Each structure stands twice: as structure tokens, then as C-alpha cells.
Amino acid sequence: MAYKIILDPGHGGSDPGANFNGRQEKDDALALAMAVGKLLTNAGFDVEYTRTADVYNTPFEKAMIANNAGGDLFVSFHRNSSAVPNTYTGVQTLVYNREGLKEKLAENINKNLTAIGFEDKGIVERPNLVVLKRTKMPAVLIEAGFINSDKDNELFDNNFNEIAQGIADAIIDTLDDSGISATDAQVYTIQVGAFRNGQLANNMAAQLKAMQFPAMVVFEDGLYKVRVGEFKSLDNAVEMEQRLRAMGYNTFIRS
Ligand SMILES: [Zn+2]
């Protein structure tokens, strides 16, 4: 299974987040999360979103979506706001506490975004923020500049692709430093059969097991699929596939 990154566009639906001259935080958050997600997907990561449309979920529901999806990392996207427009500028990343992977990730995000021109408003511990507290995986929340700062909005709009790339690079580099890469987490398995009838699948699996193949049946997309093994190396998967093919099975390797 590939390393799974959950991207959480802040707010949504009936909750617009912060507003400034008709600009809504929820729209900036969604656009940025989707752009970062595309880059991470291209890099081979498994990416899921808490929303991809203009819908509302409570922060608690967002945390549960991430937990139920089995996420390995959670990144929430927001824009900051101050009481009086054009008083503050800069990027800030929030974490539950300053420990481990999430602190390193927050540092790298701030570093990459300040390189684009944002002021560095640092890393802030927010242990009571629901999406940071209730998610079971390392989590960060990015405040990508102030939405009620003309300077930050100009930076946000003129450097949108660079900002998305900077965040994606920060994620990839932080994971890389911790020995995690999208492809390392890849597992290969050999599919030997797919049946509408579960009994046929069980029969095939039993037959394979009798010959010492590590077979199992998985129900997926309306079919009972018979699969053999879980291999970290493609070479090992290919080797076993050749043995199965020599015995007359129609196989393919899936990752
Ligand atoms: Zn927000």
C-alpha cells in the first residue's frame, strides 16, 4: 500500500472561513489543496481529500474521515485573518505539539513558503484544535498567508503554482528525510482470478493453498478476487507469477 496523505481543504459549504472583499477562505483552501494533491499524486503518493467540492463537514468529521481512510499524514489548508485588514502578513503552520515528523514538516513548509516571499510567522502549538487533536496521524495546518492582506493575496495569486510546489516539496522532502517514499511503501500482489461467484474464488484459493501458495480472497468492485502474496520487491512478485503461469493460471501483477 502506498503511503496515504490526507489533504483537508479548510471550511466549506455553509462555513466560508474568513472573508475579505468578496474573497472566501474556503475557495482558496480548496484550490490550494487540490493543486498540492495533484503534485503528490504525480509523485506516487496515495492522496485523499476530506472534500473536493464546496461542502461542509465539522472539524471532528474531517478528522474521522482521515482516520477511517487510514491516512499516514494529514495536511489542512487555510488562510489566516486578522481583526483589522492589512495589519499582519505571513505564513504560519500549526501543530498539536512541536515533536517528530510534524514539526519537521511545519519547518519545511514555512521555509519553502518564505522563499517565495511570505513573511515567516513561525510554528504554533495548538493542542486543542480538533483536526490536529483528533487525527491519529501526524497533522499540520497551514495558514497560507492572510486573506485580509493585499500583499499576501498578491503573493498567493501571482505565485499559486510555486506555493503548491513548495508545500508538496516540503512534504516529499520531510518524508524522504524520515526514510519514507511513495514507492517504498508499494506492495505487489499477484491476481490469479476474479469471480462473481464467491465459491469459485474460495475453491481456487484452496487449490493454491494446497500447493503452498499464500492465497487469499478479496471482495472488491463486485468481484471475488483471488490473490497470491504481498511482495515488497517486484522481482519476487515476478518470480512467483512465473511459477503460477507455468501451472496454467492467468495472472497479472497489481500494485
Ligand atoms: Zn481557516
* CATH at 198: 3.30.70.1070
Which among 177, 211, 243 is the end of a domain?
177
pLDDT at position 255: 75
Pair 21, 110 in one domain: yes
Tell me, in angstroms, the distance from the centre of ligand 1 to residue 66's CA.
18
What does residue 228 show for φ and ψ, rounded to 5 degrees? Answer: -120, 125
Pair 171, 221 in one domain: no
Pair 71, 119 in one domain: yes
Q: Is 152 helix (H, G, I), strand (E, B) or coil?
A: helix
Provide the CB-side half-sphere exposure for 135 (13 A, CA): 31
Element (H, E) at 194: strand 188-195
What residues are neighbours of ligand 1 (ion), with CB under 5 Å? 10, 17, 78
Tell me, in angstroms, the distance from the centre of ligand 1 to residue 144's CA.
10
The grid coordinates of residue 160 equal: 499559486
Q: Which of 25, 103, 119, 143 is catalytic?
A: 143
Pair 170, 214 in one domain: no
pLDDT at position 184: 56
| 182 within some domain | no
Which among 177, 211, 242 is the end of a domain?
177
| 183 within some domain | no
Pair 129, 198 in one domain: no
Residue type at position 93 = T
- Name, in order, each residue with C-beta under 8 angstroms of 171's C-beta and a sequence gap of 6 or more: 5, 36, 40, 73, 75, 105, 108
Q: Is 143 a catalytic residue?
A: yes
pLDDT at position 235: 81
pLDDT tens digits in sequence order for the chain, 255 residues long: 578 999 999 999 999 999 999 999 999 999 999 999 999 999 889 999 999 999 999 999 999 999 999 999 999 999 999 999 999 999 999 999 999 999 999 999 999 999 999 999 999 999 999 999 999 999 999 999 999 999 999 999 999 999 999 999 999 999 999 988 776 556 788 999 999 999 999 999 999 999 999 899 998 889 999 999 877 677 888 889 999 999 999 998 887
| 169 within some domain | yes
Domain count for the chain, please give it.
Answer: 2
State the CATH number of the domain containing residue 74: 3.40.630.40
Pair 225, 125 in one domain: no
Bridge partners for 252 per DSSP: 191
Tell me, in angstroms, the distance from the centre of ligand 1 to residue 201's CA.
49
Pair 92, 41 in one domain: yes
Residue 19 and residue 84 in contact, taking contact as beta carbons nearer than 8 Å? no
> Domain residues for 199?
188-254
Tell me, in angstroms, the distance from the centre of ligand 1 to residue 50's CA.
14
Residue type at position 37 = G
Pair 124, 211 in one domain: no
Tell me, in angstroms, the distance from the centre of ligand 1 to residue 172's CA.
24
pLDDT at position 183: 64
| 74 within some domain | yes
